[in-house]
Structure 1
Amino acid sequence: MHYLLLVYSIWILNACQAKTNSADMNTQRINIIEAVEKNQLSVVEAGLKKGADANTTDKNKRSLLLIATQANNLQMATLLVAHGANVNQQDQIKDSPFLYAGAAGFTELVKLFLAHGARFDLFNRYNGTALIPACERGHIDVVKILANTKGFPVDHVNRLGWTALMEAVVLGNGSEKYVTVVQLLVNAGCNIQIPDHDGVTALQHARSRGYTEIAGVLENASAKKNGKE
């Protein structure tokens, strides 16, 4: 009888300890999330040195690094990456630090993530790359970097049936920055002949919208390609 009481007492103590440890871990998790959100760099650094997980996520599965990325906080992102934060970790809507940085035009963060293992085979909720929304929004510096990064899938087609080039034409407004984006893609060797789901090419879309400068860039690219052939 005394033996059973002893075993039971030990079990109770262990259960209480487990609950305490769990509560402590949850508190630590919440604290470091808040510290990243509030840009408390020293607090985050201290927490990481004490063993906090650099890949901690919030209720929406946003990692600490994604939270820092969404705030365009290069200093915080650099700290987190130095402690092993995953630049490819996706949240519940498939945003990752790398994908978000590209879409938002955060050039320095894109560079940081490329230097720390950014993957090109993980896609956003539209099954798109970091380059496609960068082209859509006219983020010239990001387009220049990604389009010229070895191994980057410049001609990837997203769920809408559009490449980066197609989005620059269809969702752009034909202004100078989109002319530059198209030229950058052409210079990087993109395939200008890939049509959308309706069989319409980027050049045909540019002509129908009256984007004469973009059409000119694509016509020149086509002429050069045909000349080589």
Structure 2
Amino acid sequence: MDEVCDVIVNINLSNPSFQCDFITFLRNNNSAKQRMLAKTLDKDTKDSPLEICSYVGISELTKWCLDNEADGYSHINYMKHPLYIACIHHHPDIVIILLSHKNKVYDKSEFYCKRLHQACASGKKNIVMQLLMETVDINIRYNTQDSTPLFVACERGHIEIVSVLLENKAGEIDINQHSSSLESPLYIVCKKGHTAIVSLLLNHVADEVDVNKLTYEGESPFHAASEGGYTDIVDLLLAHAPKSKDLKPN
């Protein structure tokens, strides 16, 4: 079992029948041997079976690893954690298994927040919804832009993710939380021309969006939409502008 990667990445495991036979073979071993196998590291990569399963996306084998006390959580490097691996390789079923397992050891909110940020950036709705069930700070700023999950979802035009965040964290989310360059979610969607997301943000009743919020360069959402030639967005902003103050066109 030194070549753990070769065994788990074996193309035959993509065949349900072969996979079933393989897992049955593993389970037919006595408990002590199963635990030993589940903790065996690959000779070359030093990856654990649980890490490799999270990369490949084999649900039943992941469950077997967890049932047999597989060690995939002790790395200082978070990029070696099974949950991180499953998230970046877009395996929502593995994410659910890892989060729901009785022996899960992810007890730091920051770890979940980083995974949420990545899932929002990638547009993975199922993973986002699962992570929102954990203890997360929805307004935490992360990555080189120092931006929130809402901001990255807006920037990349993931309307389903924006909708999920606004609906599930309505009482917590700060819709005006800006990035390091003072760009707000509304500003970035106006700049990118994401009309449908602009409408979502403007109509979010739980937290009033600031249509006049300026960036570090002194630009407003209205300026960004005007400069980009997005007339539909300009019309939305004009229609939504608070009567008590003028819309700042820069």
State the alpha-carbon separation in 2 of the partners of residues 85 and 185 from structure 1: 36
State the alpha-carbon separation in 1 of the partners of residues 226 and 141 from structure 2: 30
State the alpha-carbon separation in 1 of the partners of residues 195 and 229 from structure 2: 13
Distance 1:62 1:203, change over 3 A: farther
Contact map agreement 1:99 1:129 (CA 8 A) in 2? yes
TM-score (norm 2): 0.69
| 2:69 corresponding residue in structure 1 | 51
- Is residue 147 of structure 2 the alignment partner of residue 131 of structure 1? no
Residues 61-92 of structure 1: CA deviation (Å, up to 9, x unaligned): 3421121112221111110001236485549x
Distance 1:55 1:119, change over 3 A: farther
Mapping of residues 27-106 of structure 1, within 5 Å: 30-53=48-71, 55=73, 57=75, 61-83=79-101, 84=104, 86=106, 88=109, 90=111, 96-106=114-124
| Equivalent residue letter for 1:206 | A
State the alpha-carbon separation in 1 of the partners of residues 95 and 164 from structure 2: 19
Distance 1:121 1:179, change over 3 A: closer
Distance 1:121 1:55, change over 3 A: farther
Distance 1:135 1:116, change over 3 A: same
| 1:193 corresponding residue in structure 2 | 212
Task: Give 3-state SS (helix, strand or coil) of 2:79's partner.
Answer: coil
Contact map agreement 2:139 2:173 (CA 8 A) in 1? no
- Is residue 179 of structure 2 the alignment partner of residue 158 of structure 1? yes
TM-score (norm 1): 0.75
Residues 98-144 of structure 1: CA deviation (Å, up to 9, x unaligned): 11111111112111111122322433212111111111111111111
State the alpha-carbon separation in 1 of the partners of residues 70 and 244 from structure 2: 54
Task: Count how many residue pairs are aligned between Structure 1 and Structure 2.
Answer: 197
Residues 8-48 of structure 1: CA deviation (Å, up to 9, x unaligned): xxxxxxxxxxxxx9xx6755852221121111222221221
| Equivalent residue letter for 2:190 | V
Cα-Cα RMSD: 2.8
Distance 1:108 1:40, change over 3 A: closer
State the alpha-carbon separation in 1 of the partners of residues 79 and 138 from structure 2: 21
Task: Give 3-state SS (helix, strand or coil) of 1:61's partner.
Answer: helix
| Structure number with larger C-alpha Rg | 1
| Equivalent residue letter for 1:81 | L
State the alpha-carbon separation in 2 of the partners of residues 143 and 225 from structure 1: 28
Identical amino acids, percent of aligned pairs: 19
Instruction: Between 196-205 and 61-70, report the one with greater CA deviation.
Output: 61-70
- Is residue 195 of structure 2 the alignment partner of residue 179 of structure 1? yes
State the alpha-carbon separation in 1 of the partners of residues 156 and 229 from structure 2: 19
Task: Give 3-state SS (helix, strand or coil) of 2:202's partner.
Answer: helix
- Structure 2 gap ranges (5+): 1-35
Distance 1:30 1:204, change over 3 A: same
